[in-house]
Amino acid sequence: MNQNNENWDLVIKGKTNLFDLRLKEVWRYRDLLRMFIRRDFVTVYKQTILGPLWFFIQPIITTLTFTIIFGNLAKIPTDGAPKLIFYMSGITIWGYFSTCLVDVSKVFISNSAIFGKVYFPRLIMPLTIIISNLMKFGVQFIMFLCFFAYFYNQGTIHPNLWVFFLPFILLIMAVMSMGIGLILSSLTTKYRDLTMLIAFGIQLFMYATPIIYPLSTVPEKYKWIVQLNPLVPIFEYMRYAYLGVGNFQITSLVYSVVFSIVILALGVVIFNKVQKSFMDTV
């Protein structure tokens, strides 16, 4: 029988276009995506004593530490917002971004065993990380809303209608972290020690982002350098929308959107190129 006349369910090609995302295949494997998301969400804390309580313990301890050290001892101003909710607003969204970036950057190394045994669209794994961490963010955001409601009733914060734009802000963060993570994951297949550098670098990058300080405290001559960080508008949005402080501008958010799209496109191109031969180097 002539193979050209056969209707195959799946055709795996050795050579593909760098911009071929194979989104139809990703949709076809959506059940696998759901299974991986459930695995990540359930098994991470399955053999722990406190289990899902770690979702709440980690940001609370970090917030209290920042409040005591940076707010009370270092006396870093918070633009008039209560220190506790100021730091918690930054920590909540920083946790989502940093976790996604670090986990995506290790996607080839962490899943080399399964990648070498069975075929499925490799983009499934980064998407799993982005979505599963979004669920964790949702749990922590509920805790943030509890503190938000308390301070709102006290009349110490002044939210506005920008709070309804949070899903769009999360999309920007997801796209940005995935794009950067895909680039780094492609590099770690050859240079394993980059994983340690990434973990260290993300901690340093936190201090280049207005998490423990508002943008208004940065000296004017250095402010343009800080604003090169595409995360700055996102954190300024969070404080402006939910606390009523800060200097949020929609034009600065456009910069974050453009950067996210460009970095994701670049990340996908590099990822598609490396995924074809990474088993030879991992």
Q: Give the pLDDT confidence of 57-102 residue by residue, as tens digits.
A: 888 999 999 999 998 999 999 988 999 999 999 999 999 999 999 9
Position 22 scores a pLDDT of 64
Position 198 scores a pLDDT of 85
Query: Using the 8-state DSSP alphabet, how is residue 71 labeled?
Result: I
Q: Report the C-alpha gap between 23 and 98 in whole angstroms.
A: 25
pLDDT band at 260 (very low <50, low <70, confident <90, very high): very high
Residues 6+ apart with CB under 8 A from 105: 180, 181, 184, 185, 188, 195, 198
Q: Report the C-alpha gap between 182 and 106 in whole angstroms.
A: 9
Position 2 scores a pLDDT of 47
Position 16 scores a pLDDT of 56
Q: What is the pLDDT of residues 133-156, one digit of tens each?
A: 998 898 889 999 999 999 999 999
CB 214 within 8 A of CB 78: yes
CB 132 within 8 A of CB 41: yes
**Residue 15, pLDDT above cutoff 60:** no
Pairwise pLDDT comparison (21 vs 115), residue with the higher score: 115
Position 1 scores a pLDDT of 44
Q: Report the C-alpha gap between 62 and 55 in whole angstroms.
A: 12
Q: Report the C-alpha gap between 105 and 135 in whole angstroms.
A: 19
Transcribe 13-47 into DSSP letters.
-S---TT---HHHHHHTHHHHHHHHHHHHHHTTTT
Q: Is 168 helix (H, G, I), strand (E, B) or coil?
A: helix
Q: Is 188 helix (H, G, I), strand (E, B) or coil?
A: helix
Q: Residue 170's closest CA among 233, 96, 251?
A: 96
pLDDT band at 52 (very low <50, low <70, confident <90, very high): low
Q: Where along the chain do its domains lie? A: 22-32+54-280
Backbone angles phi, psi at 141, to 5 degrees: -70, -30
Please count the CA atoms within 13 angstroms of the CA of 133 that sit on its side-chain side. Answer: 25
Residue 257: both structure tokens together: 């959107």
Name the amino acid, one letter, at 137. Answer: F
Q: What is the pLDDT of residues 155-207, one digit of tens each?
A: 999 999 999 999 999 999 999 999 999 998 888 877 777 777 888 888 889 88
Position 280 scores a pLDDT of 47
Question: Considering the entire predicted model, what is its pTM?
Answer: 0.85
